[in-house]
Amino acid sequence: MFVSDFRKEFYELVHNQRVLLFVASDVDALCACKILQALFQCDHVQYTLVPVSGWQELETAFLEHKEQFCYFILINCGANVDLLDILQPDEDSVFFVCDTHRPVNVVNVYNDTQIKLLIKQDDDLEVPAYDDIFRDEAEDEDLSGSDSEGSEPSEKRTRLEEEIVARTTKRRQRREWEARRRDILFDYEQYEYYGTSSAMVMFDLAWMMSKDLNDMLWWAIVGLTDQWVHDKITQMKYVTDVGILQRHVTRHNHRNEAEENMLSVDCTRISFEYDLRLALYQHWSLHESLYNTSYTAARFKLWSVHGQKRLQEFLADMGLPLKQVKQKFQSMDVSLKENLREMIEESANKFGMKDMRVQTFSIHFGFKHKFLASDVVFATMSLMESPEKDASGTDHFIQALDSLSRSNLDKLYLGLELAKKHLQATQQTIASCLCTNLVTSQGPFLYCSLMEGTPDVTLFSKPASLSLLSRHLLKSFVYSTKNRRCKLLPLVMAAPLSIEQGTVTVVGIPPETDGSDRKNFFGRAFEKAAESTNSRTLHNHFDLSVIELKAEDRSKFLDALVSLLS
Amino acid sequence: MDAAEVEFLAKKELVTIIPNFSLDKIYLIGGDLGPFNLAYPWKCPFGWPINLKQRQKCCLLPPEWMDVEKMEQIQDQERKEETFTPVPSPHYMEITKLLLNHASDNISKADTIRTLIKDLWDTRMAKLRVSADNFVWQQEAHAKLDNLTNRHMDQCNQIKNPEINPQTYEHLIFDKEAKLAQATTFLI
Q: Does any CB of chain B come closer than 8 Å to the CB of residue A261?
A: yes
pLDDT digits (tens, 9 = 90+) for A20-73: 999 998 899 999 999 999 999 888 899 999 999 889 889 999 999 888 888 999
Q: What's B16's DSSP letter?
A: E
| A22: phi then psi, degrees, rounded to nearest 5 | -100, 125
Res A423: pLDDT? 92
Percentage of chain B exceeding pLDDT 90:
0
Q: Are B57 and B72 in contact (CB under 8 A)?
A: no
Rounded to an integer, what distance in angstroms lies between the CA atom of residue A347 and that of residue A353?
A: 9
pLDDT digits (tens, 9 = 90+) for B81-98: 877 777 777 778 888 888
Rounded to an integer, what distance in angstroms lies between the CA atom of residue B55 and that of residue A438?
A: 56
Res B170: pLDDT? 38
| Axis-axis angle for helices A198-208, A27-42 (nearest 10) | 20
List chain B residues with CB under 8 Å of A43.
55
Per the CB < 8 Å rule, is A263 touching B105? Answer: yes
Res B82: pLDDT? 77
Q: Which amino acid is at A123?
A: D
Decide if pLDDT at A149 tops 50.
no
Per the CB < 8 Å rule, is B104 touching A262? Answer: no
Chain B: give the shortest CA distance to residue A120, in Å: 26
Res B158: pLDDT? 61
Chain A: give the shortest CA distance to residue B70, in Å: 16
Domains in chain B: boundaries: 3-176
Contacts of B68 (CB under 8 A, 6+ apart): B109, B112, B113, B116
Domains in chain A: boundaries: 281-354, 437-565
What SS3 state is found at A397?
A: helix
Task: Return the higher-pLDDT residue of A155 and A292.
Answer: A292
Chain A: give the shortest CA distance to residue B1, in Å: 32
Tell me which residue in A260, A261, A264 faces B111 most closely, judged by beta carbons. Answer: A264
Per the CB < 8 Å rule, is B111 touching A265? Answer: yes
Q: Are A40 and A3 in contact (CB under 8 A)?
A: no
Chain A: give the shortest CA distance to residue B109, in Å: 5
Res B177: pLDDT? 38
Q: Are A406 and A215 in contact (CB under 8 A)?
A: yes
Mean pLDDT of A128-156: 58
Per the CB < 8 Å rule, is B104 touching A261? Answer: no
Neighbour order of strands in the sheet with B14-19: B42-45, B14-19, B58-60
Rounded to an integer, what distance in angstroms lies between the CA atom of residue A495 and that of residue A516?
A: 26
Cα distances (angstroms) measured from residue B171 to each of A123, B142, B156, B167: 75, 13, 10, 13
Residue of chain A with shortest Cα separation from B103: A267
Per the CB < 8 Å rule, is B100 touching A264? Answer: yes
Chain A: give the shortest CA distance to residue B105, in Å: 6
List chain B residues with CB under 8 Å of A262.
108-109
pTM assigned to the model? 0.86
Mean pLDDT of B124-131: 82
- Lowest-pLDDT choice from A108-112, A341-345, A386-390: A386-390
Cβ-based interface (< 8 Å): residues of B facing A: 20, 54-57, 100, 104-105, 107-111, 114
Decide if pLDDT at A130 tops 80.
no
| A495: phi then psi, degrees, rounded to nearest 5 | -135, 145
Test mutation, A40, A256, A263, A364, chain B, max B CBs within 10 A: A263
Closest listed residue to residue A110, CA positions, set A87, A137, A90, A83: A83
Res A261: pLDDT? 54
Rounded to an integer, what distance in angstroms lies between the CA atom of residue B86 and that of residue A88?
A: 72
Chain B: give the shortest CA distance to residue A42, in Å: 4
Per the CB < 8 Å rule, is A211 touching B56? Answer: yes
Mean pLDDT of A540-546: 87
List chain B residues with CB under 8 Å of A266.
104
List chain A residues with CB under 8 Å of B100.
264
Mean pLDDT of A135-163: 59
Contacts of A284 (CB under 8 A, 6+ apart): A328, A329, A420
Tell me which residue in A213, A261, A264 faces B56 most closely, judged by beta carbons. Answer: A213
Percentage of chain A exceeding pLDDT 90:
22
Closest listed residue to residue A525, CA positions, set A442, A449, A469, A455: A442
Q: What is the DSSP string of A521-553?
A: -HHHHHHHHHHHHT--EE--SSSTTEEEEEGGG
Q: Does any CB of chain B come closer than 8 Å to the CB of residue A166?
A: no
Rounded to an integer, what distance in angstroms lies between the CA atom of residue A302 and that of residue A444?
A: 28
Sign of CA dihedral A373, A378, A379, A380: positive
Contacts of A249 (CB under 8 A, 6+ apart): A217, A221, A270, A271, A272, A361
Decide if pLDDT at A148 tops 60.
no
**Which band of pLDDT confidence, cut at 50, 70 and 90, is reported for residue B184?**
very low
Decide if pLDDT at A312 tops 70.
yes
Q: Which amino acid is at A300?
A: F
Q: Establish, for the pair of chains A and B, how many residue pairs have beta carbons separated by less than 8 Å.
A: 30
Per the CB < 8 Å rule, is B110 touching A213? Answer: no
SS3 track for A46-112: CEEEEECCCHHHHHHHHHHHCCCCCEEEEECCCCCCCHHHHHCCCCCCEEEEECCEECCCHHHHHCC
Per the CB < 8 Å rule, is A262 touching B109? Answer: yes
Q: Which CATH number fits domain A437-565: 1.10.3470, 3.10.310, 2.60.40, 3.30.2010?
A: 3.10.310
Res B173: pLDDT? 43
| Range 172-211 of A in CB contact (< 8 A) with B | 210-211
Q: What's A231's DSSP letter?
A: T
Q: Does any CB of chain B come closer than 8 Å to the CB of residue A43?
A: yes
CATH topology of domain B3-176: Methane Monooxygenase Hydroxylase; Chain G, domain 1 (1.20.58)
Beta-bridge mates of residue A101: A194
Per the CB < 8 Å rule, is A267 touching B56? Answer: no
pLDDT digits (tens, 9 = 90+) for A239-287: 999 999 999 999 888 765 555 456 677 778 888 989 888 889 889 988 8
Mean pLDDT of A477-498: 86
